[in-house]
Amino acid sequence: MVPLIQSLVKKHLERLAAEDVNLDDFAPKVIEKAKALQERFSPFITINEKLASENMPRHVMKLPFSVKDNICTRGIRTTAGSKILEPYVPPFDATCIHQIKNAGGFVVGKTMMDEFGFGTFATNCAYGAPKNPIDPTRVCGGSSGGAACVAAAAEFPHIAIAQSTGGSITAPAAFTGTVGITPTYGRVSRWGLIDYANSMDRIGAIGKCVYDAALGLSIISGYDPMDSTSLNAPKTDYTALLGSEIKHLRVGVPVEYFGADVDESIKRNALDMIKGLESFGVTWEEVSLPSTKYAISAYYLIAMSEASTNLAKFCGLRYGMEGPLDGNYEQYFAQLRGKYFGEEAKRRIILGTYARMSGYRDAYYLKALKVRAKIIGEFRKAFGRVGVIATPSMPIIAPRFDEVKKLTPVENYAMDRMTVPSNLAGLPTISVPSGTSSGMPTGIQFIGNYEQEGTLVAVAGACEQV
């Protein structure tokens, strides 16, 4: 175990002991609690009942992690929320799972998610939908909905490993009153992640508090030669940055994120939180990110284009579901995918393929890439003036299941307008609770410059105190 992880784990165990958590035969007890949680809110697709954890004696398993079901876990079924992967049990661990196990962590279960990450509410899953622990008639948010659900409701200390392409950590964290950290693109290895859109996919962590999310990130981050986009940066203990000085921090408040299309009380909570930070010596100013309005269109074109090529690997020959081998290859693939992909996956394959077709490529895909470059440029300019940018995490509170059903796909996609710009840019973000509205939690999102996760942890820690 590397010394940094050793000291982190030691600190964590001391914290548990101080909270009087009984660590004797801890793992099986946690599994029992996870089962009870499943009965109430259904956050899991698979619970790791056998505690499949390579060569690990039970007495060392003291750090429970839930893992989003698109991250490969050796010996534990990994479906990415899709029927097409229903029988798939990976023969290997993703890099972040290796890191968890190296730190004495164990996997409690694989959490519910929108199929391949295609959704904002965790309602597009082949295995059910997690219920919001604060009001079970409402959704948890997606696509890492199960992760946030466990983080919010678990009565055992735990870190939820989640993943975002366009906001899948911030959205569920905001809807469930938890803390979600989405690191700089490349900070956490994507090796072993079932990809949605490779140029944006990021693995991160959700916890009950900033400390838990920061601990999760400290454990899973680090350079990995198996991922060619991995950041070659030293491993950091982000928990040590909690409570660090933010006296000279300047917060940028982008006018485009505080428009009429965001719930009044959510904007008020965010602004009150920013004002509350003044007592830490923080100052703020308005900034402008004018291309924000094009982010949804650019994001969905790029995300769907990448997703439609990624999904081509599910051919029913190598892993996952199989079918009767009649007809030619084309007929076989069409029949198998028609049967096992969900409606949203099919929609994205069709739209993504269209956007990349010759004749349309310039008008859609390439134009979206230009918008992406413009959005990145505007963020860079803003970070010339301010240290972090603060926005509401989501424009609405967690909707009820019946409200989500009524949304058209375009209305649904528009819900991501607070989260997709930073995901297009690969910038780190943290979502932290900012208050409540109609009894439901609201979130404030801080966007940091590249590799500035430490500042995000420090400012989010200050928010907890406010």
Rule CB under 6 A: which residues touch ligand GLN?
117-120, 143, 164-168, 196, 303, 416
Which run of H or of E encompasses 159?
A: strand 159-164
Given 42, 53, 82, 168, which residue is catalytic? 168
- For residue 4, give both structure tokens: 């940094």
Q: How far is the CB of 119 from ligand GLN (least distance, A)?
A: 5
Nearer to ligand GLN, 378 or 416 (CB): 416
Q: Residue 444's closest CA among 268, 300, 310, 286?
A: 268
Q: For every residue of 14-29, which 3-state class applies, written as one string?
A: HHHHHCCCCCCCHHHH
- For residue 400, give both structure tokens: 């009820």
DSSP string, 259-288: STTS-HHHHHHHHHHHHHGGGGT-EEEEE-
Partners of 287 in the β-ladder: 254
Q: How far is the CB of 446 from ligand GLN (least distance, A)?
A: 18
Given 42, 53, 66, 68, which residue is catalytic? 68
Number of CB atoms found within 10 A of residue 380's CB: 13
- For residue 186, give both structure tokens: 């490349």
Number of CB atoms found within 10 A of residue 381's CB: 12
Annotated active-site residue 358? The verdict is no
DSSP-based three-state secondary structure for 195: coil
Q: How far is the CB of 444 from ligand GLN (least distance, A)?
A: 19
Nearer to ligand GLN, 124 or 236 (CB): 124
- For residue 10, give both structure tokens: 């030691």
In terms of Cβ atoms closer than 10 Å to its own Cβ (0-12, 13-18, 19+), residue 271 is middle
d(CA 215, CA 142): 22
Q: What is the number of helices (H) and of strands (E) in the chain?
A: 15, 11
Annotated active-site residue 346? The verdict is no
Q: How far is the CB of 186 from ligand GLN (least distance, A)?
A: 16
Q: How far is the CB of 378 from ligand GLN (least distance, A)?
A: 21
Nearer to ligand GLN, 167 or 392 (CB): 167
Q: How far is the CB of 411 from ligand GLN (least distance, A)?
A: 12
Q: How far is the CB of 345 from ligand GLN (least distance, A)?
A: 11
Given 53, 143, 144, 393, which residue is catalytic? 143
DSSP-based three-state secondary structure for 359: coil
Nearer to ligand GLN, 118 or 332 (CB): 118
d(CA 211, CA 157): 12
Q: How far is the CB of 394 from ligand GLN (least distance, A)?
A: 11
Q: What is the CA radius of gyration of the chain?
A: 21
- For residue 367, give both structure tokens: 């134009």
Q: Is the torsion defined by CA of 168, 193, 216, 21 positive or negative?
A: positive
Annotated active-site residue 434? The verdict is no
Nearer to ligand GLN, 119 or 443 (CB): 119
Nearer to ligand GLN, 111 or 143 (CB): 143
Nearer to ligand GLN, 303 or 460 (CB): 303
Cis upstream peptide for 244 (omega within 30°): no
d(CA 430, CA 317): 40
Phi, psi at residue 105, to the nearest 5°? -85, 160
Nearer to ligand GLN, 106 or 116 (CB): 116
Active-site residue list: 68, 143, 168
